[in-house]
Amino acid sequence: MSRLYEVMFILRPDISEEDTDKLIAGFSTSVTNGGGSIKSAEKMGRRKLAYVVRKFNDGFYVLLTIEASGPVVLELERRLRVTEQVIKFITVRTDEEEKRIAKVKAKRGVRRSAEPPAAPAPAPVPVPAPAPVAAVEAAPAPADEPAPAEA
């Protein structure tokens, strides 16, 4: 049974562009030789790592989207594990997530079409402003105390 996977791996930052292309081609051929297919291969470039991995602070990220069966993915992971230039990798199955999103979208579409169209909102009614309150006059100062000086 063929499923959709995303395989992201991080390569050492000190390898050349040609070696990066050779590694990607090698991993791609191992998938196609096993009966899978490569949907996309995206080089995401050099990025800083969140923490030090094998004494490296940054790495070259690559994302492969593949359609393959379980044994093909296991073989790809084995190759990633034994390749010295690969410092980290992760494989995620994405077909279940796509099915869940499609189901939610279909449910939303049915719900929206079943509801009657919303009536337009009534126009806002103007509210009169409150009348200003008269200011209270201050009581005169007692004769014992001097009046405060006004600036």
Edge to edge, the sheet with strand 3-11 lists 37-53, 56-68, 3-11, 86-93
* Closest among 25, 10, 105, 118 to 62, alpha carbons compared: 10
Model pLDDT for residues 74-109, shown as the tens digit of each residue:
999 999 999 999 999 999 999 888 888 888 999 888
For the chain, how many residues are written? 151
Name the residue ranges covered by the structural domains of the chain.
3-98
CATH of domain 3-98: 3.30.70.60
When pLDDT is cut at 50, 70 and 90, the band that residue 12 belongs to is very high
Q: Is the pLDDT of residue 136 over 70?
A: no
Q: Is the pLDDT of residue 125 over 90?
A: no
Task: Quote the pLDDT of residue 1.
Answer: 81
